[in-house]
Structure 1
Amino acid sequence: MSSQCSFRQTDEKHVTTEVELMEWSPKMDLLAVANIQGEVLLHRLSWQRVWSLPPPTENSKVKAIAWRTDGKVLAVGYISGEVLLCNVENAAILHTLHVQGEVCSMQWMCDSMAPAAGKKCYKDRSAEYLPKIPTLSKSYGSLSKGHSEENVEDMKKLADQIGLNILLIGNNDSIVKLFAYGIFPVGAVNLKQHKNTKAGRIISLSLSEDLHLLSLIVQSPKMEDQQDQDVYLLSFESTLLASRYEEVQALAFKYGHVVTLLEHLRVIIKQMSEAWEDILLEMDSKLVKFAEEKYMLGTGTVSNDFLELLLFGTPSDELQSFLLHDLTEKGLKKLGHSIETSYSNIQKLVLKHLQSVTQALIYHLNEIAGMASWYDRFGLLGLSSPSVQEAVQMAGAFMLKAVELQQVIDGSMKNFKAFFRWLYVVIQRLSQEAIPAELSKMTQQDLNFVTDFLKEYFTEEMDGSCKSGFKLEKVGQYLKHEELQEPLPNTDNPWLKFVNSSQLLQESPVLFKPQVRQSLVQVEDNLRTAINVALTKPSSAIGQSLQCSGSSYLFTYQNMEEKEEKNKLLKPKFTHFTVCNQQAYQYVVFTASCSPSDYLYLVRQKTHAGSDGADISVVKLKFGCLGTTNREESGRDDRYCIPSYHICFVMLYTLC
């Protein structure tokens, strides 16, 4: 009998580093393993390694692991408070969360109240109206690590999600945070702000499948100078979340779209900055030697020599030597092609990517604004129409700033082409080569373009740094975290004249208001702030609605982790599950002592608390054997030792 009821070891695997945490995938034969070095390894049942994820920073240890219910995303929580959502296929970082304090526990649950077909309060139809977001080319610049370009619209892996799933994160400072699909914040609880509750380290947590009950296992020191730890079960009613789960799901999908577009926006601006820096480096690489000679001889500046050449047609000795021997005709063509490519990259990033992403962002924010106007469904969640409209306005201002940048780039490219065409003619003339007929003629407009180029892109004085003095401020100022030094003049714009002449139009909520003095990067920061203010209000509203319905003392144990390093894993264990029949119950199963333990406790509580409070039933199970268990004394075979389970039903608490 003993051999029939026992577990049998089938295999044994060896690891090179001590393992701290392990978690099986709920859908596939995948095992996530975290070791003491902060690495996360994904293995198959055959122990084939699928991938490994290094720690984000040095000394970052993994404190919790949780699988999304479909097994496609893995959440990894670190001691630093950082939580990474990883794509199971390739370990790509889909999203990053930052929580206060140290991550102590995580659970990813799925609701059991999937809406019937055709009964959803919202259907996302953005794919029918919006063009597909173009993928970024690596030729524009380096892509961020972990930034996937396979499917920009579904970078967060939300497209195939049907029901609502919520990631719960507990820390060591009495704070619990809830994230729909692991992305959208839908609630936060600070135990220190609730009366009659114990604050402490949250070692386990669970949300019932019907979303009505949030259960927390809290570890609190018995006395400040002792190692004994009191463990409590705290219950919170989440009625608002349960009654508005369809609205939360709709907002979470929209939030996923918005966050994805914002991340894509940041990558685009980064590549624009890299292309801008490439232009500066190319010019500096050619002009720095000439600028250094001018500075050492004290005979003027680079810009003065070019202006004299433009006005009088005669170059200085240093400039002539530079043009004929250092720059040369071939070098000028190569330099011009390189700079033109960088200019074109910036222009394509603005026209093809920046504007398409901004248009999609405005579309999704307008849909959220429509939700905010539906007060009966979304008003209770704290979604505020004025704050969402402010976010829409900032998105419109960002689009206007992108159009303004495009105008500046167009003007800069005209000046740049005119300057290099003129310089090519000068080199040909100094080399006594034939000048093509189409280049020999120079109009007054071309002369103005060259003058503007020299005026705008060369500093007037040199310093001891021996740099060329070349600058690209008209474009570069839009990519800095500071106000524009040379904003685009708009005094001749007839539309702006018309708007400024009408007080009604100036105050219209429909028209986007330009941010004249701010750079593109500053407007982007304002946009992120406005979106964060608008879309985090539901988290505050739901968090405030979570009310503690019961606090129960479970047991006291001694913190073995501080006494013996070898016993650090021998802690009391907890697990949660929900049974939904005619009456939904949430169960908590735990051991009250360090492993191995002879007793198992099963706590049951209703997810819907009645008027008289939440009844909590506790069952204590003792594992032992019937008959003689000492082989030496009895001399009998194990097959006569029958396992038994002594069950004591005890009603411990009736909470009000």
Structure 2
Amino acid sequence: MGDVEEEAAGDSLAFTLHLDKPLSSQVDKASWNPDKDLLAMATRDHQLIVHRFNWQRLWAITPEMQVTSLCWRPDGKALAVGHDDGSIAIHDVENGDVLRQIATHDTAVECLYWAQEGQEAADHGDDVFCYEDRTSRFFPSPPHTPPMPGMASNFDMSGVLGHVAEDQSQANRKNVLRAAQQRLYILCSGDRNGIICLSAFGVFPIGKLDIRDLTISGMVAEYKSVAKPVSRLLDASALEVSLSEDLRNMTVICSGAQSVESLQAMAGAESRASGLYAISVDTSLLGDRRKELRQVALQASSVEELLEVVEGTVTVMRKHWSEAISTFEDKFRSLSTLLLEHGSPVKPRDEFLSLLACGSASAALHQFLAASLGEAGLKRLAKSIDTAGRELHNLIAEHLQPAAEIIAFRVGELRGLSRWRSRLRRIGLHETLMEDAMENAGMLLVQVERLLRTVSDTTGQFRLFFVWLTKSLRQLNGDVGPQANQLPAIDSVGVADFLRTHFERDPVGPHLAPASDGLVVDIKPEEEARIVELAIMGGFADTKFLSRTLSSQIERLRASCQEAFAMPVKEISPNLQARCMLLLCPLSSSLPPISTVPLSLTYFEVNSGSVKEESRLEDYICLRVQDDASAADQNVVVIVRDFSVSDYSLPGGAKVPEVLALRLEKSLHCIDLALYKQRQVILLVSEKDLEDDEKTIQTYLMLLQLEDLEFTPLSPTSSPMSRLPLLHLCSTLEAVVDVGLKSGKVRAIAQLDAVPPLAVSASRGLACVFAGQRRALLYDLEEDEEGQDDEME
């Protein structure tokens, strides 16, 4: 090696090594938190681990399913994790708790990308649609699902929408919540079957794209023949996906076999070409309707979360009440047995009515009250019913009713938005469906109010019954002391009404019964007639809703909301159209699996240089290409930029993508790569012994400035490019640059057996390199530059 290369291998040119730590298992996936010094890793022993900068473990969990992809939310407060069963879990950054588990895919989730609406897009001057979420003006913080009896509180899931997770004052919480709602987060996920799903805030589906069903134009703009070739990508599998901050462009990297339907214009080309492809997708509808999508997603996601709160609260209430009422029924069931043993065919209710009317009890009733039950047992039973009644009242007042009110308000807001058809209908907010959901939300409010009155009345009647029964027991026992006079006066009419209506029939249980039981709640004829009159005056069209149980009404509300909230996917998905497709590299049996190809995809913000002109987003695709036709091609890195904004279907073509091939020195081999900040690329390369390819001399991190390199436009009219590998195109266009240890910024690293993945943090200027001997090395990519600047000063 030359003098410069020897310096590159020296300690003086090494990046600052912050730590070198052993690993319990090799790492398969790694991703830096964009806002904090946290590194998330998925290991081969099926652990999901998050480490701090000093390598202190923040938390570690063992998911039930194998982790196949990782991605941090742009604010750094949540981690999306894809699994091989198609599910996506969103974990809290602080403790790893699952905020939400969603199942949007049927097979392994291979890639995740969380896009954040850019500040310029959020502050854009489009004030035609200006809407503020007014819920916080009229309601306190939304309730959470109460814990089951004997269990700890459920985890707060509000963080899934960007709500704050830290302990803050109420004012600060509202301010942070408003700030989080100013931008739209979209989680993009791709699976092995070529399905791309888009979810607002990671929980509300807004789009779905099946790559295998796309008809894609080739990289050809002008044809003399009438039949223009249209391609399909068979057996597609998504590998990487990226969405621009303006939400108008999406790039998908996938493997598959291209099938061209019209071969007349592709003379001499094979019918299929298996390889790695880049697909540009037009998502301009998301950018045009970002404000509407943000509000619909926030409202709808909140409704779905609150529906879970309502369902969970009803389950907890059912548990409390069923335990208390079961104890009551078990105790008084023994009275029926005693009456039969004494030869009396009278029902217990009639025995108590006789005691209330005459003041005398039969032998069986006296034995039951004095011996079987006793005053102590009667007090415990009364306390059990009274406690359950108070618990139900509190659960309704603190959880069920507030949740139902916020649901009704949010559904009403969505119904109001749906009436602006010109803007909201295009993203799937249908007025008719929202009207149905609004009516069901109103019915739920009425039923909750009725349940509250029923619980209060029933608890009061039970209290009257137990007071009277306690006083009667003392009188039967001859207790006429001062203690007997401490009990309140007896309401004989109230006790008689309880015995006739509630003693043998649970008045609360049917309201809380599961919807699967198919129970019907009895309503009085006068109430039904009043509902019919209200319907004529503009009330609910469904006049039988009061006969449904609370769970049945919740089920109807959920079904109507699901139908309404499923429309955005149906309306938006057809508008996600592919612009064009580019073959990146071919596949063959002699090449390594496509999953081992180093690949990086991102968007950079590029300033135009003019104050008047806005900055634009420029996408970059970077990968190591391989071609079994030439051994020299094993060490080539190809970079494509401006691919997502190209559209060759337009007359004369639009802005064309530009390409560049970096041909590494013969001794260098690219292990992994990552696009870095300010249009830079970092290559992790190993230097091999030319006489022994198995022997590694040194391992380097190479940092190249892309804006210093000369890219070459892909001319759409030069040749039928859609079927040619990208490396061949670069050679044809003479867009190949030789790269060696003298190029760019090259630093030697401590380990010779470096392996993927290369984890780079653009916000913190860090790189984590993993070694085959299960070690992690953390390098500072910026500190040595600062030192040089200080020396120059």
Question: Deviations along 1:284-323, whole A, 9 cap, x unmatched?
Answer: 66457x379669969689x924533432666565654443
Paired residues of 2:38 and 2:50 also in contact (CA < 8 A): yes
Q: Distance in 2 between matches of 1:570 and 1:192?
A: 23
For residues 51 and 371 of structure 1, do their structure 2 counterparts lie closer, same or farther at Cα, with a shift above 3 Å needed?
A: same
Give the one of 64, 89, 95 matched to 1:90.
95
Shift of 1:416: 1.8
Residue in structure 1 matched with residue 267 of structure 2 by the alignment:
none
Counterparts of 1:11-26 in structure 2, within 5 Å, are: 11-26=19-34
CA contact (8 A) 1:393 1:513 kept: no
Query: 2:663 is matched by which residue type in structure 1?
Result: K
Contact 1:557/1:592 (8 A) holds in 2: no
Change in Cα spacing, 1:239 to 1:649, as seen in structure 2 (3 Å) is closer
Inter-CA distance 149–310: structure 2 relative to 1 (3 Å threshold)? farther
Q: 1:45 aligns with which of 53, 62, 74?
A: 53
Q: CA deviation at 1:545?
A: 0.3
**Match for residue 255 of structure 1?**
300
Correspondence list, 1:269-418, <5 A: 269-283=314-328, 286=331, 290=334, 304-311=347-354, 319-418=365-464
Contact 1:418/1:450, CA 8 A, preserved across alignment: no
- The farther-off stretch of 372-381 and 603-612 is 603-612
Q: Find out whether 1:114 has 2:151 as its counterpart.
A: no
Bigger mean CA offset, 582-591 vs 184-193: 582-591
Higher relative contact order (CA 8 A, sep 6+): 2
1:114 aligned partner, one-letter code: A
Q: Which runs of 5+ in 2 are unaligned?
A: 1-6, 166-175, 216-230, 260-272, 609-615, 628-632, 669-686, 723-793
Partners in 2 of 1:283 and 1:37 — Cα distance?
52
Instruction: For 2:656 and 2:638, locate their aligned partners in 1 and report how far apart those are by CA, in whole Å.
Output: 16
Q: Displacement of 1:364 after TM fit?
A: 1.5
1:649–1:370 CA distance, 2 compared to 1 (3 A): same
**Percent of aligned positions that are identical:** 22
| Secondary structure at the counterpart of residue 516 of structure 1 | helix
* Secondary structure class of the residue paired with 2:547: coil
The answer for the alignment partner of 1:103 in structure 2 is: 109
Aligned length: 617
For 1:7 and 1:203, the matched residues in 2 are separated by 31
- 1:578 partnered with 2:601: no
Partner in structure 1 of residue 622 of structure 2: 589
1:519-534 correspondence to structure 2 within 5 Å: 519-534=549-564
Deviation at 1:328, TM superposition (A): 1.7
1:547 alignment partner, one of 550, 568, 577: 577
Which residue is equivalent to 1:598? 635
Change (3 A) 1:143 1:535: farther
Cα 1:163–1:351 shift into 2, 3 Å = closer
- Which among 233, 236, 251 is matched to residue 278 of structure 2? 233
Between structures 1 and 2, the one with greater strand share: 2
Separation in 1, partners of 2:396, 2:177: 27
Q: Residues 232 and 297 of structure 1: is their aligned pair in 2 closer, same or farther, counting only changes over 3 Å?
A: farther
1:621 paired to 2:670: no
2:81 to 76, 79, 82: 76
Task: Give SS of 1:615's match.
Answer: coil
Deviations 1:373-428 (A, max 9, x none): 12232232222111111111110011111122223323422432233223223322
Whether the 8 Å contact between 1:143 and 1:267 is mirrored in structure 2 is no
Q: Distance in 1 between matches of 2:584 and 2:16?
A: 33
| C-alpha separation in 2, matches of 1:616 and 1:444 | 87
Asked if 2 retains the 8 angstrom alpha-carbon contact of 1:372 and 1:379, the reply is yes
Alpha-carbon offset, residue 190 of structure 1: 1.4
Q: CA–CA distance in 2 between the matches of 1:281 and 1:392? A: 36
153, 173, 179: which one pairs with 1:160? Answer: 179
User: What amino acid is aligned across from residue 97 of structure 2 in structure 1?
Assistant: A
Deviation at 1:202, TM superposition (A): 0.8
Q: Which runs of 5+ in 1 are unaligned?
A: 458-470
* Residue of structure 2 in register with 1:186 after alignment: 206
Does structure 2 conserve the Cα–Cα contact (< 8 Å) formed by 1:234 and 1:550?
yes
TM, length-normalised to structure 1: 0.82
Once residues 23 and 688 of structure 2 are traced to their aligned partners in structure 1, the CA distance between those partners, rounded to angstroms, is 36
CA contact (8 A) 2:239 2:255 kept: yes
**Conserved? CA contact 2:275–2:585, under 8 Å:** yes
Asked if 1:128 corresponds to 2:173, the answer is no
Paired residue secondary structure (2:59):
strand
TM-score (norm 2): 0.69
**1:205, CA displacement in angstroms?**
0.7
Residues 179 and 187 in structure 1, CA contact (< 8 A), matched pair in contact too: yes
Gap change, CA 1:527 and 1:412, over 3 Å in 2: same
